[in-house]
Structure 1
């Protein structure tokens, strides 16, 4: 159960037998992937303890100051896994969440109330003047329902699972690991991806227009995944990852989705190279840590392709 930070700190001092159980900087790398949370953490409201002294998995209440100036309390796990659909600022807080929700419409406005009041009431009917009605026909016997429930029908109120969730039928029937052009693929998320594609196209020959790879198991209701760049001849997918404008991309649950995507590609016989910026941790053996898209990005990417598929095979696709 979460506890206040002073109680948590005192308990850690006792259990570890140290006046400072976690020195400053102990968890700097663990928090580096959440720059927004680093900016919004306030040591002055947390007993002077800095964020790099707190494990991300600690069950402790911390004070945060959102970009709108609202001070609120949340645990590290809550901050790293807040839902993103109702965020109004770059990080969750109760006040911003209330402002983001649309206000419900009133049940009856004043104009509707006036129209209801002006509507004439239906006169009451005297039971003695009611004309007798013909007896209605007896109801037809109902056909008994089969006690067996169809396999694709789930109980009402239950959440769909991977086995019962429908799969998009637009994915063509292709062998697992085949690259193709998908109509379901989302548009590029940033202009950096287009710049990276142009820089790689100037050095390497590969089929243009391919944006999807057929996988064996459903990935978010599709039997396909959509890498940023698809090198079909080399069977290598390239992803450009950044924390985004608000520092919320490719962290928390979105990092879990990235790992699932990489596993789906590798099970289909592909390899993945992720260009990780914003101090994002490496997810695979061939990921590259970058400060951004520079002149050295494409040469480093080509060297990594040579390490994966061999220099003779990769150099055969280099442009003269």
Structure 2
């Protein structure tokens, strides 16, 4: 049951029999990859309890303040699940999300009265249905407040996008441009997005200078759909080794590779490994490692490249990797 933070803290004190159920910094690693949430949290508004004392799975109502200044209440699961597929900073705040996507009012005739008694009229929402008016219906602009503007989203499922229905994979139309190749083959895809990160290009060039691999491939054929495609687009593909290299950071707004995006990364890794590939992720910004060969570094440097080469040798064997050395 979700409860206020002060009541939750007192209950934990009673159940554990100690004045401080969780030590400061106990959950630091769990919150480290959410820098936006660290900035939005204020202990003075949450009974003096710091964020690293709160388990990410705790069903407790916490008070947050977004960068704009909106103060709202949400659970840790709601906040950690907010990024979804959006790349806007406002997704961390329910009020900013409503303002970013304003409610569309129905278009009314010019002679429509400002106030209409409920039994006489109905507001037409679409061409197929009418919504009966409850009490009185005010025309847009007459002190109307969008019904989506709420201070808490406790009823929303973490990570869910309101108003959208995602069809099952069997009913969706997948990209028809993927060539018919054996699962696990690397190829040049016309659907793959262009490289948007300068760090990825720098990483690829560092490998080009050291090895004679084939670097013109940008996709791997999968045996099952992944985000409406049957192909994956790793940042760097080494077909000779069947190794995919990914560069992960939290991005400018701290939205990348956290929350639901981390779940997507895990799905992508499983899809690649199921067709015989291995994945090496270079994780920065205190992002936790997802696989056995991931590297947690502060950035791409000469030392990072050396660690990556050593990892390639561990995964595929030094004799095989060094055979492609320039």
Q: Fold match, TM over 0.5?
A: yes
For residues 75 and 61 of structure 2, what CA distance do their matches in structure 1 show? 5
Instruction: Give, in angstroms, the shift of residue 186 of structure 1.
Output: 1.4
Q: Please point out which of 297, 310, 313 is paired with 2:304.
A: 297
Question: Which residue of 1 is the match for residue 317 of structure 2?
Answer: 310
1:201 aligns with 2:208: yes
Q: 1:286 to 1:221 in 2, by over 3 A?
A: same
Cα separation, 1, equivalents of 2:85 and 2:109? 30
2:200 pairs with 1:189: no
Correspondence for 2:225 = 218
Partner in structure 1 of residue 22 of structure 2: 22
**Does 2:253 match 1:246?**
yes
* TM-score (norm: length of structure 1): 0.81
Moved over 4 A (4+): 83-88, 108-113
One of 164, 169, 172 as aligned partner of 1:165? 172
Q: Distance in 1 between matches of 2:83 and 2:295?
A: 28
Distance in 2 between the 1:42 and 1:84 partners?
Answer: 24
Q: Which residue of 2 aligns with 1:259?
A: 266
- 1:116 corresponds in structure 2 to none
- Secondary structure of 1:262 counterpart: helix
Scaled by the length of structure 2, the TM-score of the pair is 0.80
**Which stretch of the first structure deviates more once superposed, 53-62 or 194-203?**
194-203
Q: Hey, what's the Cα distance between the residues in 1 that align with 2:313 and 2:55? A: 38
Q: Pick closer, same or farther for the CA change 1:85–1:101 going to 2, 3 Å.
A: farther
Tell me whether 1:66 sits opposite 2:66 in the alignment.
yes
The answer (yes or no) to whether the contact 1:241–1:275 under 8 Å persists in 2 is yes
What residue number does 1:8 align with?
8
Q: What count of residue pairs does the alignment treat as equivalent? A: 276
Shift in Å at residue 96 of structure 1? 1.1
Report deviation, 1:162.
2.1
1:175 and 2:160 are equivalent in the alignment: no
Asked if the contact 2:83–2:259 (Cα under 8 Å) also holds between the matched residues in 1, the reply is no
Could you say if the C-alpha distance between residues 87 and 60 of structure 1 is closer, same or farther in structure 2, counting changes exceeding 3 Å?
A: farther
Does the CA contact (< 8 Å) of 1:66 and 1:91 recur in 2?
Answer: no
**Would you say 1:275 and 2:289 are equivalent positions?**
no
Name the larger-Rg structure: 1
- Hey, what's the Cα distance between the residues in 2 that align with 1:9 and 1:71? 21
CA distance in 1, matches of 2:265, 2:213: 24
Separation in 2, partners of 1:90, 1:240? 25
TM-fit CA distance, 1:34: 0.6
Write the deviation string for residues 186-236 of structure 1: whole angstroms up to 9, x where unpaired. Answer: 122311111111111111111122000011111111111010000000100
**How far off is 1:106 after superposition?**
6.4
Q: Write the distance in 2 (CA, Å) between the matches of 1:280 and 1:111.
A: 58
Of Structure 1 and Structure 2, the greater strand share is in 2
Where structure 1 has 5 or more consecutive residues not aligned to the other structure, the ranges are: 114-156
Q: 1:305 to 1:220 in 2, by over 3 A?
A: same
Deviating more after overlay: 55-64 vs 75-84: 75-84
